[in-house]
Amino acid sequence: MTFSKHLLAWFDQHGRKDLPWQQQPTPFHVWLSEIMLQQTQVNTVIPYYQKFTQHYPDIQSLAQASLDDVLSLWTGLGYYARARNLHKTANIIMQEHNAEMPDTLDKLIALPGIGRSTAGAIMSLAYHQKCAILDGNVKRVLARYHRVSGWPGIKSVENQLWQYAEQHLPSKRIAHFIQAQMDLGATLCTRSKPQCDLCPLKEHCQAFLYDLPQNYPHSKPKKNIPTKQSHWLVLQLNAGEILLEQRPPVGIWGGLWSFPETDSPNNINDICTQEFNIEVSKITIEPSFKHVFSHFKLTVHPHLIQCSKADKKIAENNNACWYKISDALRLGLPAPVKSFLQSLQ
């Protein structure tokens, strides 16, 4: 138990104990924080978490909210499937679990958006059960401590790390131990420039003793990230209203409101006339900009289109709606769409 003993002693002195979700470690708050922290830094999450819990302090209020309102609070945090799954899972918990977060690993994993590591965090941090986690920080700590070769995205490597994660679980203070693992990875055992001299595990860390910690875990094999082009049709009436359409519930920006778009700028007038029955009076090409997703880069070319006449019923048939900009900014919007609307204000 050398690993847990040294780590807990370090946590007592140096661990983070003032994070917002640590003040109310209920199953709901642990679940919400873990979902928000997936692929996102703590400092980025804190203001979103605080605002989100002000609106939705529990599972019931989240389940009763509209998806549009939930996505609106999520705007800018990215990976919007997380928000959609939160809302979906809250409703399942209300309907099938009497508004109580399940208290077994298997039942938690059965819920949308909750994987083995998130379930383990809820079980250990909220229910104080002996369950392991394997988030990015813990993977890095264990891969270095045991000098595990390979990229953790490979199933065999991940399984090996899970074995180590469970092997090191102490019989007492499980919540503190789980938090200590995450804290060590976030503060000392960082991806680059780890502070090994301050690490409580350095005397037994295999990467520190026999290699370079920065070499572990192995990086994901690089792929060429494609660049795609999109032409936004920013349709605006003389009164200032903007046309937005709701994207399909799955896929990029699923369920969010965005501008109509096309792959080619050559058919803009035809789209405006045929799809939305709009009379175009002026088209201004705005400066292009880039937006980066996890698996491709998007170059956006906004076309500001002044409309002298529009059939609003046609828009509704296309899952679209005309909004005043002030009203549109309260919808669930992708971050670049929100920024562009703010610039129009």
Q: How many residues does the chain have?
A: 345
Give which of 334, 48, 44 is closest to 186, Cα–Cα.
44
From the candidates 34, 100, 158, 203, which is the catalytic residue?
34
**What's the CA gap between 134 and 120, in Å, rounded?**
8
> Residues near 75 by Cβ (< 8 Å), separated by ≥ 6?
256, 332, 333, 334, 335, 338
Element (H, E) at 193: none
H/E segment holding residue 41: none
- CB 283: neighbour CB atoms within 10 A? 15
Helix (H) / strand (E) element for 27: namely helix 27-37
Q: Are the CB atoms for 216 and 140 separated by under 8 Å?
A: yes
Burial class of residue 78, CB neighbours in 10 A (0-12, 13-18, 19+): middle
Provide DSSP, 108-144.
HHTSTT--HHHHHHIIIIIS--------HHHHHHHHH
The two structure tokens encoding residue 70: 């939930």
Distance between CA atoms of residues 103 and 27, nearest Å: 9
Residue 212 class from Cβ within 10 Å (0-12 exposed, 13-18 middle, 19+ buried)? exposed
Radius of gyration of the chain from its Cα atoms, rounded to whole angstroms: 24
Which among 222, 216, 223 is positioned nearest to 150, based on CA atoms?
A: 216
CB-CB neighbours of 345 under 10 Å: 8
Instruction: Identify whether 34 is a catalytic site residue.
Output: yes
Q: Report, as residue numbers or ranges, the catalytic residues.
A: 34
